[in-house]
Structure 1
Amino acid sequence: MNTKENKKSRTTLKALEKISGRKLTIGSLLGSIREGEEMTQVEFSSLLGVSKQYLCDLEHDRKTVSAKKAAEFAEKLGYPIAQFVRLALQEELDRYHIPLQVELHLMRELAA
């Protein structure tokens, strides 16, 4: 991601947060994707390879995921991994009250 793409990504995030009325999290992102696909939690959790309860906990921000798991979710859903990983890392920093903001830069193309 270059600087222009980072700015666009941050602007998009702020717009999504304004629409939803809350901070975008990996759980709210997954919930939005699931609802957009008109899938039940059972169907969506099966697609992700997790339990329905775990998905429910994610969607309600009771649980978080590792960066690795966030990347796996993105790949299974056919989305670029950067935004999923950024959200997962940011949530960890926020949980421990570390006042940093995550920005990602692609170092190399991932092997297919």
Structure 2
Amino acid sequence: MLVVIAHPDDESELSVTLYKIAKEQHGTVDLYVITNGEAGFRYSALAAAYYNCKLMNAVEAKKRLPAIRRQELREAGKVLGISHTYFGHQPGSRWIQAGMFHM
């Protein structure tokens, strides 16, 4: 199954489904992430404290947040049983954050 999500962390909305397909049904689950996820920097207070960097600042977030979110997604994917994760590397925007994107 190929799951397409707008930005890193959207997999958490269907984590039980992904886990059941991959681990319990022995299916293959691949994930395609459209954006880098840096547009969500306003919600990064916990990550800023955890990674000890200024992720609440737009400039700093644009530089550091995409790599952090990709790594976090890869780690979550190991637990969920994701076979492959692909990244579209599109810049995040307020439209993508709101789920109103067009391809």
Q: TM-score normalized by structure 2?
A: 0.30
Of Structure 1 and Structure 2, the greater strand share is in 2
Could you tell me the TM-score, scaled by structure 1's length? Answer: 0.28
Q: Which has the higher contact order (CA 8 A, sep 6+)?
A: 2
